[in-house]
Structure 1
């Protein structure tokens, strides 16, 4: 009889995975309840939209700095402390809601604090994982983490958050506070010794950030993967910034149909977590990464052409499978190659390109769709991805060596 995956990966990984799964549910609950809370305090659309920006802004401001601190300090202890702070902040927010003293300023402050903590904790967890499993186990370990995010954050937490908010506006934030406290306790129970970045020579924070960026830039494969991801996210963000309007005007679907198409993303992502490691073993990283670029080109062309909702749904499922497989493959490769003392900084560069690319693409997509047609961003994204595929095709062959 085969041992369970969690047993093969070890008790420490099981604690990390459980902690991530619990906090993913909490994050999703807050993501669903947060806009509802702001809307209950203010009817201003700009203030409601600003709540999302308040939580994303720290990634643009602090991603690289957080990466440097992840490489300076004990990563396990950092996650524990950050999660405790986030738990206290959410408990405080719940208290202000329960007492009727909550305001937009308080909500923004808590969301900004949560986003700042995310830049530290998420980067630290990514750098901590390679110390808990062997290099050969990384694809399976990352697949389990990605799966827990998809199930907990996308499927379970969103409806749960809205339902809890209906019961009482304070409840979802209290639940999230509990999930962060639970996550902190689980991470504290990891027995692996202090996992320090421990750089050979401590310099200024600016120099340490620069050292991480330089190391990444000099590594041809990781540089190719980072730039490809960043540029691909610009293309993706541009195309999907107007997705709600595309569904209504191009596909002719209702609000319910729009929700079903969004669910297609989650379904594909879940499938991707189950097949990523097997696809990589069967065909190799080079073939998987190259095929993923082709899938992106076909996705944008197909969505630009089709007017059938079910065709779009199938395309979105396939795209989401690719996105998950690509993410797991690239993350595992990066964790194998990057020296332990640089994992935080290199990972933070990837996070900055990921979120920065998507944000820039969203702005460009809205402008392009306003100036031309609703499908124009998809055509632009298809051309951009075709160009990226041609440029990245040969450098990606180095992925076979990691």
Structure 2
């Protein structure tokens, strides 16, 4: 039996507990609704305008809170009951989507309402995603972190990129407002599931007399003093910039270059999700086989290949294959780096350091969406993909240099030696 098969069999036997099952189901349900919105929001924007820049602005509005509220979200996660906060965020997002649904049905759902609702949904995403990653180590066994994170990412990608977009594209044709109503209902179901989780992270109080600013900056100080985490955050930012530039103009590329309709665009997103689900299934075993350094190099190569195919081959079949490859790379990257954060960051700083990392990494999302829209409007969508391929090739070379110096292995060894006996 091969090492890969042995590792896979071990992950199948691993039991992660009932609390994790509830978190997993909440992610599954809400991701299904999110997928419908992901497909429907650019379609709605494209009905309201033909300007690629204005269509991409919906993605900018959704991702801008990642930059604006990333650090405060980490402090909130370290100082409040995470479970209760996640419930309240989900209920609030359901109300936001109800407003957008009513606006579309009432005829006053234009671009300003879409941008505003996407901004609020992005704010909720910052709070909820950061809290969920902090919660996972407290409700699952230590040796199950890689599998637990992979399973959550897998179901999120299945919902947001496969089943949800197909559903969203189909029901958008039936009623424009329906995908957003479905997403709102999914958040209510998610809130009910999370409220039933028994364990949560203990609430920790800050040092007496410490200011809010100093507490927020504590996570930033730790992260930027840690060479590995600092480097991975910056590389993640570059990957997100290149990837989101591609995704922001994908709806334009599918319509104007590939001549696909709404359903065809949903199929492209489904191809991306299929690759993500496959990667989530095998990423823990692949990381074990190649080592963390090798797995990260492989992800950069996969993303480079995907961007190159999109730039060079204007075919719907090639685009579907490229998006599958792209998703395999991004999900494998996420599985590796999330576990590294959960194991290397001190627990009392996990929320804040995690949020600062995500602030740096997700900072590339709105920039990428804006740059993608500008380049597509000026030169064309295929130029966006070509530029992304060049950027990712440089990233792959940099990661290969780091792998040869065993940067992750040395960081894990240093953290192990720092633990008290």
Query: Does the 8 A contact of 2:75 with 2:351 survive in 1?
Result: yes
Aligned length: 397
Distance 1:107 1:301 in 2: 32
Q: What SS class does the counterpart of residue 270 from structure 1 fall into?
A: helix
For residue 62 of structure 1, what is the aligned residue in structure 2?
69
Shift of 1:362: 3.9
For residue 4 of structure 2, what is the aligned residue in structure 1?
none
How do 1:286-325 residues align onto structure 2 when only pairs under 5 Å count? 286-306=293-313, 310-311=317-318, 313-325=320-332
For residue 22 of structure 2, what is the aligned residue in structure 1?
15
For residue 192 of structure 1, what is the aligned residue in structure 2?
199
Distance 1:143 1:102 in 2: 41
For residue 87 of structure 1, what is the aligned residue in structure 2?
94
How do 1:186-265 residues align onto structure 2 when only pairs under 5 Å count? 186-196=193-203, 198-200=205-207, 203-238=210-245, 243=250, 253-255=258-260, 260-265=267-272
Relative to structure 2, which stretch is displaced further, 11-20 or 371-380? 371-380
Distance 1:367 1:106 in 2: 22
The answer as to 2:360 corresponding to 1:353 is yes
Relative to structure 2, which stretch is displaced further, 284-293 or 294-303? 294-303
Query: Does the 8 A contact of 1:221 with 1:395 survive in 2?
Result: no
The answer as to 2:407 corresponding to 1:398 is yes
Relative to structure 1, the CA distance from residue 87 to residue 5 in structure 2 (aligned partners, 3 Å threshold; closer, same or farther) is farther
Q: What SS class does the counterpart of residue 274 from structure 2 fall into?
A: helix
- Residues 164-183 of structure 1: CA deviation (Å, up to 9, x unaligned): 45555554444333322221
Q: Which runs of 5+ in 1 are unaligned?
A: none
For residue 326 of structure 1, what is the aligned residue in structure 2?
333
Relative to structure 1, the CA distance from residue 239 to residue 57 in structure 2 (aligned partners, 3 Å threshold; closer, same or farther) is closer
- Which residue, out of 31, 37, 40, partners 1:30? 37
For residue 343 of structure 1, what is the aligned residue in structure 2?
350
- Which residue, out of 125, 133, 138, partners 2:140? 133
- Residues 200-235 of structure 1: CA deviation (Å, up to 9, x unaligned): 556323222322112111111111211111122333
Q: What SS class does the counterpart of residue 393 from structure 1 fall into?
A: helix
Shift of 1:273: 0.9
Query: Does the 8 A contact of 1:38 with 1:51 survive in 2?
Result: yes
Distance 2:265 2:167 in 1: 19
For residue 121 of structure 1, what is the aligned residue in structure 2?
128
The answer as to 2:121 corresponding to 1:151 is no
Relative to structure 2, which stretch is displaced further, 205-214 or 159-168? 159-168
The answer as to 2:75 corresponding to 1:76 is no
Query: Does the 8 A contact of 2:276 with 2:327 survive in 1?
Result: yes
Q: CA RMSD in A?
A: 3.5
Distance 2:280 2:379 in 1: 37
Relative to structure 1, the CA distance from residue 202 to residue 107 in structure 2 (aligned partners, 3 Å threshold; closer, same or farther) is farther
Query: Does the 8 A contact of 1:30 with 1:172 survive in 2?
Result: yes
**TM-score with structure 2 length normalisation?**
0.80
Query: Does the 8 A contact of 1:6 with 1:13 survive in 2?
Result: no
Shift of 1:149: 1.1
Q: What SS class does the counterpart of residue 363 from structure 2 fall into?
A: helix
